[in-house]
Structure formats: C-alpha cells, structure tokens
Chain A
C-alpha cells in the first residue's frame, strides 16, 4: 500500500496474501488434467490396451474427451459451478481444433498427453497469477481487500462497520496453518445463499390426451460467502491474523458498557448546561436589580 493511500493517523498492521495452497479447488482442476494426461498417455502407448487404441485413430480422442467431459459434469454438479464443465469442454474443443489444424489426428496418442499436461501447466500459472493479484492490508482503521488480474477489485471495510466475523479452516488449512476470515458488514456484504431445490414431473394419459405437471420446492440458507478478493482468503498465519482482526474490531466498536458511559456523560453535560443557564439567569437578574433601584 502506498503512503498516499493511507488515511490520517492510519498505520499498517499487516499486509497479507493468500497461501499458495489456498486455491486448491482451482489447482485440483489442473491436477486432474495432469493425472488424466499422463494416464491416457500410458493407456494409449504402453498399457495392455495399446493395440486396441492403435486400431482406431479416433478412439484415444474419444476416450480422452468423454472422461474429460464426464468429470466436468460431475464436478460441476457437486460444486454447482458449470464453469468447470465449460472449462473442460473448452480444453476438449481446443484440443480437437489444434489436432485438425496441425493434422496430427493419427498421432493423437502422443499429442493428447502433451496437450493436456501443457494446458494444466498453463492453468497452474493462471491460478498462481490470480493468487498473487490478491492483497489484504490490515491497518489500524480498516481492512483493504485488493484482487483481480485484469479488472482490479477493491473493498474497504472499517472496523466499526463489521457485525460478524466468520472463520473457516479446512483440513489443508489446519495442516499448513492457513484459513479464511470473512468479515461481514452491516450491509450484508460477505453473505451468500445456499439454495436447495427439488422438482418433479408427471405425465399422464395415452397417445392423445397428455397431462404434464411440475411441482417443486426450494430452501435458502444464508451463509458467509464472498469472492476471494472481498475476504481474507487463505491467510497465513491464520490464528494470529484472526486475533489481530478481532482485537481491532473490538477496539473500534463501542461496547454496551461504553455506550452506558457515553449516555451518562451526555446526561452530566446536559445537567451542567442547565446549571450554567440557571447561573447566567441569576447573574443577569442580579445585575438588573440595582438599575431598578436607581
């Protein structure tokens, strides 16, 4: 954070970035590509099925693509993120396009593993670039969240505006000592929804008369969730950072006791003001009296 970005009397307590393993969800997409790339290379070239794959030039591409897309669908359904499927679809379509362009369909057994591993390496680099774009500045007055590779996002949160703090630490985080801290603001920034939906369909009747009915229902649960550049995502050392944030929030928020004290002091000031006014009135009355006597 530059000096000119700091406010008056503001002091930077800590500058943080996400832990290298905190984006394991994205990294695992690349890990799968590496594993599958190596596995398909072995299956097509060295395994007992090598002859089978060699008999048909389309077979390696077909098997590679089907597994890629099936895994994409399963991962998308589990995480409710269709971008995973589209990502793998993109990898598949890109691979096919490249094979046609390079006229290397016959050597798919060599091209596909190299292409898959190369794509996964590029994926790793992009994830790393994305991770490095994150910066969290914990100052004495606020938390500044910065992130984004192309579009730069920034969020500033004053401690007195924080209503809740959510702490999250997965198994990997427990092992390596990192975790995610989501400060939830009064406006609800930092909250997301988990939605469950169930639906069913009914079709009645024979060839001509048909009846189609649908029924369904949904449930919503509010849960702390936000983008990685709006939260303290995968910060290390997790416990220490959590303590710093908690102390700063406590230091900036008026506790009930303090509120009582402020109200009491206000009352005192009001009484003093009333007394001052009375004294003024008395003084004025005293000054007026001799003039009357004259």
Chain B
C-alpha cells in the first residue's frame, strides 16, 4: 500500500489520465484522416460524402441515444449526407441535458467501437484478461491499466495479423472495422459547414463545460472516486477494469482509423497512376491473397494466414511503387531528370 494521499487522491486519477491520453491519440488520427480525405476529395467526392454520412449517422444515433436514456424523447430525427438533426420532445435541463450532451460528445468515439468490441470475444482467442491490482496507488493503477491494454492489444493485433479474409465472420468484422474507421466523425469535407466538428471544437466544448458547468464535472469525478473507493474496500479491480474497457474501445478505434488511413493512402497513390493501370493494385489485393491461400491449402503451414496477408500487402505496395516509377514521373532520380533536361535542351538547340 502506498501513502494515504496517493491512494485517496491520486490513485483514482490514473486510469482517467490513461483514457484521456488514448482519446487524444484518437482525435489526432481523426484530424489526420480528414487531411488525407481532403487531398483525394476532387477525384473521390462520393467517398468523402460517404465518410461524412457515416460520421453524421454515428453522431446522430448517439445524440438520439442520449435523449432516449435521459427520457427526453425524440420529436424529430433527420439525417442526410451532410446534415443530421435530432430534436427532443421535452427540453430537459440540468443533469439530463448534460448527460445527453455527453452522449453526443463522447458517444461517437466509443459507441461504434463498442459494436466491434461485442463481436471480438467470438473471434479472439485471448486478450480480455484483467490484471489484478495489489497496491491501489497511482502507479499501481496506471500499471494495471497499461497491462490490461497491453494484453488486449496483443490479442487484438495477433487476431488482426492472422485474420482469415475467407472466413465470413472475419471478413464481416474487417468490413465493419473499415466502416467504423472511415466514419468515426463527420469529415465535413467540401460541404457547407453548419457546425464545424473537429479537434478544436471538442477542446472548446471541454473548456466550456469546465468553466460554465463545473458542478457536473465535479459530480463525474465524485462518482469516479466513490467507485474507486468501493473497489478498494472490496479489494477488487473493478475501477481499473471499467476504464480499461474505455481504453480497449480507444484502441479499436485507433486501429480502425489506421486501416482507414491505409485505404485512403492506397486510393491517393493509385490516383496518380494513369489509365487502366490504376486498377492493377486493386486487382493485386484479392489475387495475391487468394493465390497464397490456395498455395497454403495444398501445402499447409502454421502461419499461412499471416503470411498470406503479408504477401498481399507487400505485393500491393510493390505494384504501386513499380507503377508509379514506370508510369509516372514519381521516383525519378535527380540525375535522370538532369539528363532528361539536357536531352531536352539539346533537342531545342538542334531544332534551332
């Protein structure tokens, strides 16, 4: 056991800080995704509209869920590609208003990932073990939180690295992961911005809540502290476990955002390839994977799924690189460019 101050005051803050850290990483990934989406917008407007729609769908659903939980009721529910609106039947003030706003504010980050988390126990062999705490100090709680996240990440990554894309459940999960990654938040790219929802908006919202509604923040912290003390008295690690679930959700969201990034980068890279050649990388993805799986079907191997995925990724990257090198001016070395320029100048001189 640590000092009383550590256990009573600082220890409950440890998992909260951990969740906030992961939430910030999530926000950064979202901003980066928006940047990449804006780069491909000219050629892929429908894709941008689709991602925006997904974001609005998640956000509006969370808002509606907030009104339902607080028993405010829903008088109107409107959703389109660039705008979503939910109106309550009864305008409730106080804690209810704050709760429904919390759903709108935090919901899109955690509720879609929770859908994936529900699927994961059926697909993952391990990763849901909760580390036990003995000390209940700040550092002990932080270590337990980190350990929980590590165990989950290890299981999740090992599942993803050996995901069987020929298994309907795995394929369905992977498609959901991509959809979640693309629509974590509305991108509002190329649309008339009615209300800009980005990282700064979130931070402003936090600042507003801290300054203008400190009571609710205090209540939230109070609940957290009470729960922490209850866990401590009962010698259980429920408190850290609860926040670890939020951490898992963040990890799922971050991974899905990374997958979405890879897809957007693939689209961006293929945009630079002219004509029919741009479809070759997209054909390479299933062809290389199916070839490898067929090969391993006849010559079974322990890590065949993982190797098939690796071959698929490497061959796609290689094909893109080669196409960019031989079909475009990308990756042309300076010397080559200089010699080309000289050749051009020589031609000009000759023509004179």
Contact = CB atoms under 8 A, between A and B. Distances in A.
Interface stretch (B45-53, B298-306, B323-331): B45-53
Contacts of A174: 49, 53, 80-81
A39 B168 contact: yes
A175 B50 contact: yes
Interface string A169-189: 001001111000000000000
Contacts of A46: 166
Contacts of A42: 166-168
B165 to A, nearest CB: 12
Given A171-B53, A171-B81, A176 B46 contact: yes
A177 B46 contact: yes
Interface residues of B, number: 10
B65 to A, nearest CB: 20
Contacts of A16: none
Contacts of B167: 42
A176 B53 CA distance: 12
A38 interface: yes
B168 A175 contact: no
Contacts of B53: 171, 174-175
Interface string A241-280: 0000000000000000000000000000000000000000
A130 B80 CA distance: 29
Nearest to A39: B168
Interface string B27-46: 00000000000000000011
Nearest to B51: A175
A66 B266 CA distance: 41
Interface in B39-90: 45-46, 49-50, 53, 80-81
A96 B293 CA distance: 32
B166 A175 contact: no
Interface string A135-178: 00000000000000000000000000000000000010011110
12 contacts: A42-B166, A42-B167, A42-B168, A46-B166, A171-B53, A171-B81, A174-B49, A174-B81, A175-B46, A175-B50, A175-B81, A177-B46
Given A42-B166, A175-B81, 10 more contacts: A42-B167, A42-B168, A174-B80, A174-B81, A175-B49, A175-B50, A175-B53, A176-B46, A177-B45, A177-B46
- 3 pairs of A and B residues whose beta carbons are closest in the complex: A174-B81, A175-B49, A176-B46
